[in-house]
Structure 1
Amino acid sequence: MSSIRNTFIILFIFSLTLVSCSSGASLQTYFVDKQETKNFISQDIPLSMIKVDQSNFNEEQKEAYNSVSRLNFLGYKADESNMDSYHAEVETVKAILDQSKYKDLVEFNDKGTKVVVKYIGSDEDADEVVLFGSSKAMGFAVVRLLGNDMNPDKMVTLMHAMQNSDMDGSQIKDIMNFFN
């Protein structure tokens, strides 16, 4: 009887420790919770699967590109019938990204799409870089860049270089088709 009581006490303390360590919803939990939900698409993409022409990259951009090992993608497709749900999901993601652990990197609007880039880590070494883009016409996407020795400032220059580089989109065609 005493061993059952001790086991229960240990489990209770362990549970309290887990709960106290959690400071609200996490982006990773949000990805897991939504990955098989209606109107969502989720994919883990090793960077090695995406063929990008790096011939015009400078050394800083190549270093940033090589520091990323994989992408976690979560997308939500919006249409006239699910605008309330779309707005609720956008607010949920914004609330997660408003947590103090996420540092602002850049924010801009492009042709009706609002893009926010944040990161977790230090100014020299990001543990995770997050891109969040939303558009009422299409929906939203959250991309988590995961890797080693990612420098947030270099990631911004990499984003600009990627916009002008040739990329083989066949590896991500399912994602693109989802939004069409």
Structure 2
Amino acid sequence: MKLSLFLALLAATMLASCNSEPSLQRYFVDNSEKKDFISLDVSPSILNVNKTKLTADQKTALESFDKMNILAFKLDKNNAALYEQEREKLSKILKDETYQELMKVGSGKDAASISFVGNEDNIDEFIIYANKKENGFAVVRILGDDMNPNNIMTMLSVLKDANIDMEQLKPLEDLMK
């Protein structure tokens, strides 16, 4: 009797905690295996930096970065209608109040934006979205701990001196052409 009551409560709790609202994470999961998408998980090791030459701020910024998830839709003549549908879905997700927009460049079919999840002093994730009508779109989730806008700016200085492992980005090569 106690076991069945426990199982019923557990099932009710699990059902109540399920959120049917679309999220970026769910979008990544749902589309990562589809043929029109390219999906990559990139680790901090891609940067190949000499940590002994980093400043304290650069080390802090690097340590706040856990991983990057990249999902890209490669547009071609056979999937233009699907591209429009997926672009609309993604735009709707990014308009949710969960994602706070920091910057937007361009509009419509040639645009890019940077958003974040969390608060300004403790950012859980940065989202970079770029859309180009000739190529398709890409969305990048930069995940980390205790990130802030200063960390991102500092990471840019680290990137300038990084010996980036291009092999991890090889699947995106066709999209960039």
Q: Fold match, TM over 0.5?
A: yes
Partner amino acid, structure 2, of 1:138: N
**Residue range with higher mean Cα deviation, 122-131 or 165-174:** 165-174
Q: What's 1:14 paired with?
A: 13
SS in structure 1 at match of 2:34: coil
- AA aligned to 2:102 is L
Aligned counterpart in structure 2 of residue 133 of structure 1, from 130, 133, 137: 130
Secondary structure of 2:134 counterpart: coil
Partner SS state of residue 81, structure 1: coil
Q: Percent identity?
A: 31
Distance 2:83 2:105 in 1: 20
Q: Assess if the C-alpha contact under 8 Å between 1:68 and 1:145 holds in 2.
A: yes
1:35 to 32, 37, 43: 32
Ranges in structure 1 where 5+ consecutive residues have no aligned partner: none
Distance across 2 between alignment mates of 1:74 and 1:88 = 15
Structure 1 residue 61 displacement after superposition: 5.2
Answer yes or no: is the 8 Å Cα contact 2:46–2:164 preserved in 1: no
Give the aligned partner of residue 147 of structure 1.
144
8 A contact 1:77–1:179 mirrored in 2 = no
Task: Give unpaired runs (5+ residues) of structure 2.
Answer: none
Give me the whole-angstrom Cα distance separating, in 2, the residues matched to 1:103 and 1:86.
24
Indicate the residue corresponding to 1:79 in structure 2. Answer: 76
Out of 93, 99, 103, which is 2:100 matched to? 103
CA deviations 1:96-133 (Å, max 9, x no partner) are 11111111112224xx8421111111111101111111
1:148 CA displacement? 1.5
**What's the secondary structure of 2:78's corresponding residue?**
helix
* RMSD, aligned CA: 3.2
Distance 2:38 2:141 in 1: 14
Amino acid at match of 1:36: E
| 2:91 pairs with one of 91, 94, 119 | 94
Note closer, same or farther for the CA distance 1:116–1:36 as it changes in structure 2 (3 Å cut). same
Partner of 1:120: 117
2:122 and 2:175 map into 1 onto residues whose CA distance is 33
Closer, same or farther in 2 for the Cα pair 1:159/1:98, shift >3 Å? farther
- 1:168-179 matches, cutoff 5 A: 168-179=165-176
Change (3 A) 1:153 1:11: same
Change (3 A) 1:51 1:81: same
How many equivalent residue pairs? Answer: 175
Displacement after TM superposition at 1:81 (Å): 2.1
Task: Supply the distance in 1 between the matched residues of 2:44 and 2:121 (Cα, whole angstroms).
Answer: 21
Q: Give the TM-score, by structure 2 length.
A: 0.80
